[in-house]
Amino acid sequence: MFQDFFTPSVQHGLDVAGIFVFAISGALLAVRKNFDVFGIAVLATVTSVGGGLFRDLVIGAVPPAAFTDLAYFVTPLVAATLVYFLHPEVTRINRAVSTFDAAGLGLFCVTGTVKAYEYGLGLTASATLGLATAVGGGVLRDVLANEVPSLLRWDRDLYAVPAMVGAGMVALCLRYDALNPLTSGLAVITAFSLRMLAMHFHWRAPRAWNRRSATPDEA
C-alpha cells in the first residue's frame, strides 16, 4: 500500500519540504552566530542535506540525490536568502530555530525510514537510518557552529527520542501494511509534537545511574 502513496514525486516533495525547514533552522542559527552571507548559505545547506547524504551513501543510492537533483541544491539557497533578508528579531531567533528544526526532524524521520526500506533494508535498519536522516544535519550544523550537538548534551531537551518514535511508527506501519497519508502525517506530527513538548517541559534523558562528579563543569 505504501508504494501507492510514496511515489517518487511524493517522496521528492516531502524531501524538499524537509530540506527547506531544516535549511531555515541552519540559516537562523548562522544569523544568531553572526555569520556572513556565505556562512549562512553553507550552514543552511549542510543542515538540510547532511542527514540525507549520509542515508543515501549507506543504502547505495549513489550519486546521492543532493548531487543529482537541482531542487536539493536550490532549496537551501532560497531558504538562506529568505532568512538573510527576513530573519526575525534577535530575541526571537532561538525559538524559530527550534521550531523549524523540530519540523525537519518530523519530516526526515519519516522519509528517511521509507527510502531505506525501499532500498531493501529491514525494518529495524530502516528506522535507524530514518533517525540518522533526521538528526544528521542538525549534528553537522552544531559542529560547524562550534556547539556541542544537542544530540549529545545531557542538559538539552530530548532531541533524538522524538525522531526515534516517528521512525518507529513508520516501521510498524510498514510491518502491518498500514502506511498511508494519514499514518505518515501522524508520524510526522508525533515526532514534531514530542520535540516541541520536550522543549516546553524540558524533558531530558537520564544520565548514568548514581553518577557523581566533583568537577562542577561535568556535573
At 126 the pLDDT is 96
Instruction: Answer yes or no: are the C-beta atoms of 18 and 104 closer than 8 Å.
Output: yes
Give a yes or no: residue 217 inside a domain. no
At 212 the pLDDT is 67
Give a yes or no: residue 84 inside a domain. yes
At 112 the pLDDT is 94
Give a yes or no: residue 115 inside a domain. yes
At 210 the pLDDT is 75
Give a yes or no: residue 165 inside a domain. yes
At 6 the pLDDT is 62
Give a yes or no: residue 219 inside a domain. no
- Measured between alpha carbons, how far is 124 from 144 in angstroms, rounded to an integer? 30
pTM of the model: 0.85
Give a yes or no: residue 215 inside a domain. no
Give a yes or no: residue 210 inside a domain. no
Question: Do you find a cis peptide bond into 64, omega within 30 degrees of 0?
Answer: no
Q: How many domains does the structure of the chain reveal?
A: 1
At 3 the pLDDT is 55
In 33-122, alpha helices (H) = 37-59, 65-68, 70-86, 90-118
Sole residue written with cell 544568531: 32
Domain region containing 93 = 2-203
pLDDT by position in tens, the chain (length 219): 555 556 778 778 888 988 998 999 899 899 989 999 999 999 999 999 999 999 999 999 999 988 999 999 899 999 999 999 887 664 477 778 788 889 989 999 999 999 999 999 999 999 999 999 999 998 999 999 998 888 888 888 999 999 999 999 999 999 999 999 899 999 999 999 999 999 999 999 888 777 765 555 554
